[in-house]
Amino acid sequence: MKLQKVLARLQKLHPKEIDLSLDRVRKLAKKLGDPQDDLDCIQVCGTNGKFSTIAVLRAILNEANYKCNIYTSPHIKKINERFVYNDKEIEDDQLANLLQEVEEINNGEQITFFEFLTAAFFYGCKKYNKNLTICEFGLFARFDAVNILKKNLANIVTACSIDHKEWLPKNEQTIEKIIFEKTSNLLSSNIIVARQSSKKITECIKKNISKNSAKKIFFNEDYNYLSNENGFFYYQDQYGDLKLPMPNTLGEFQLENASTAISTLRVLEKLNIKDQHIKSGITKIKSIARLQEIKSGRLKNLCKNNKIFCDGSHNPDGARVLNNFFENLNCKVHIVIGMMANKDHLNFMSHFKNISSLTTIDIPNQPNSIKGKDLKKKFSNYPNIKYESSIENAIKSIKLHDSDVVLICGSLYLMGEVLNFN
């Protein structure tokens, strides 16, 4: 209850949820003693794959006996997920005390909720500043509150695509502008660029960081991987080849995320990451709501012998890789979907092929989501389209046959509700 009261107060410190600027967070960070300046940090930006790449980094580093502080957003089930110190999610009372202390230091100054949380995370790192810190910086990165670091170990650029374009002027809602926002202010340490969905995007990233003096590492030029059907994949870079077990995560795209994380850690030679750390770490990745199979709980009980997956993908590229995964399963797929109002709903669904049924639902507790009934109208051309008022009713309404699977997708906010219900 104490934590909820603190959070409610903090959300009133600025009239807007997002106000793109670094002035306010820099001012608060200075009051806090600029704790971010004392950290060894890996920063991760991009559109898709940030959380999954961070999960791989963390798993490998833990195998090498490194402790990690992790900052990601949004959270899935509870806000504590954003504050990981010493590899442990912060407890409610500890988080409340941390936020309250920063609140007193801020002294009522105007600042957005996310900016405040970011400054508070860095302040909390003071106790653990010998750890490696991994931070996701999102939206457009250039004005993301995490972008107040003056130095870091590396910048990872995951797959970039069009998302959050509503925050750009209408005449600048392009992939080129998005890449500019994500990469123009990267620090000049190491830049590792993941596999992109097109050569055009890769070339755009290259052009944008061409004047950055950082060491640049590109997928397919400086590192690569080859998948194998016998439970292994092969990783290659300048340090040599590795035969690796398949990660304990699903989907070909997770090999891309794992390879990017491996490349980053091998470039950071001072970390002394051994082959065995990599081999062991990628089988112990902790990730939720990213092509996660639900194997127990209330939802699984509703599906009985059928497989059920949840994934927070909400943009066209995310839908594309999801469709690739399910096409390889060679089974009938029933989709349950809820989305935020500002997403490209039709483009997202256009990447799914051979869908057996489509059920739209509301996302509870999210005023910025599109109503399930309105989403159904947008998808009226799809066969077997229907609306249900809840995730439970949606699953119950699907007529499942042997080997059919259920996919719940469309929003990370929906995944939080789904996993909490489960």
Contacts 24+ apart (CB under 8 A), 101-105: 102/28, 102/32, 103/6, 103/9, 103/10, 105/28, 105/31, 105/32
* Cα separation, 191 vs 208, whole angstroms: 12
**pLDDT for the residue 383:** 86
- The residues spanned by each domain of the chain are 2-281, 292-421
Average the pLDDT over 43-66 and give the result: 97
**pLDDT for the residue 228:** 80
**Lowest mean pLDDT, pick from 229-233, 309-313, 334-338:** 229-233
Q: What is the pTM of this model?
A: 0.95
- For the chain, first and last CA: distance in Å? 23
pLDDT tens digits for range 383-410: 899 999 999 999 999 999 999 999 999 9
* pLDDT for 229 beyond 90: no
* pLDDT for 20 beyond 90: no
Structure tokens at 277: 């750390």
pLDDT tens digits for range 107-124: 999 999 999 999 999 999
Amino acid in position 27? K
**pLDDT for the residue 23:** 95
Structure tokens at 86: 């010493």
Q: Going by C-beta distance under 8 Å and a sequence separation of 6 or more, which residues neighbour residue 12?
A: none
> 């970390």: which residue's tokens?
271
**pLDDT for the residue 140:** 64
Q: For residues 76 and 415, is the Cβ–Cβ distance under 8 A?
A: yes
Average the pLDDT over 84-95 and give the result: 98
CA torsion sign for 50, 53, 59, 63 is: negative
* pLDDT for 173 beyond 90: no
* pLDDT for 195 beyond 90: yes
Q: For residues 139 and 120, is the Cβ–Cβ distance under 8 A?
A: no
> 């949004």: which residue's tokens?
74
Q: How confident is the model at residue 157 (pLDDT cuts 50, 70, 90)?
A: very high
| Fold classified for 292-421 | Protein-Tyrosine Phosphatase; Chain A (3.90.190)
Q: Going by C-beta distance under 8 Å and a sequence separation of 6 or more, which residues neighbour residue 203?
A: none
Average the pLDDT over 55-79 and give the result: 97
Structure tokens at 285: 């990745």
**Lowest mean pLDDT, pick from 1-5, 75-79, 171-175, 206-210:** 171-175
> pLDDT averaged over the chain?
95
**pLDDT for the residue 391:** 96
Q: How confident is the model at residue 162 (pLDDT cuts 50, 70, 90)?
A: confident
**Lowest mean pLDDT, pick from 163-172, 227-236, 356-365:** 163-172
**pLDDT for the residue 100:** 98
- The fraction of the chain above a pLDDT of 70, given in percent, is 99
Q: How confident is the model at residue 139 (pLDDT cuts 50, 70, 90)?
A: low
What CATH number is given for 2-281 in this structure? 3.40.1190.10
Counting beta carbons within 10 angstroms of the beta carbon of residue 101, is it exposed (0 to 12), middle (13 to 18) or buried (19 or more)? Answer: middle
* pLDDT for 92 beyond 80: yes
pLDDT tens digits for range 315-371: 999 999 999 999 989 899 999 999 999 999 999 999 999 899 999 999 999 999 999
* pLDDT for 167 beyond 70: no
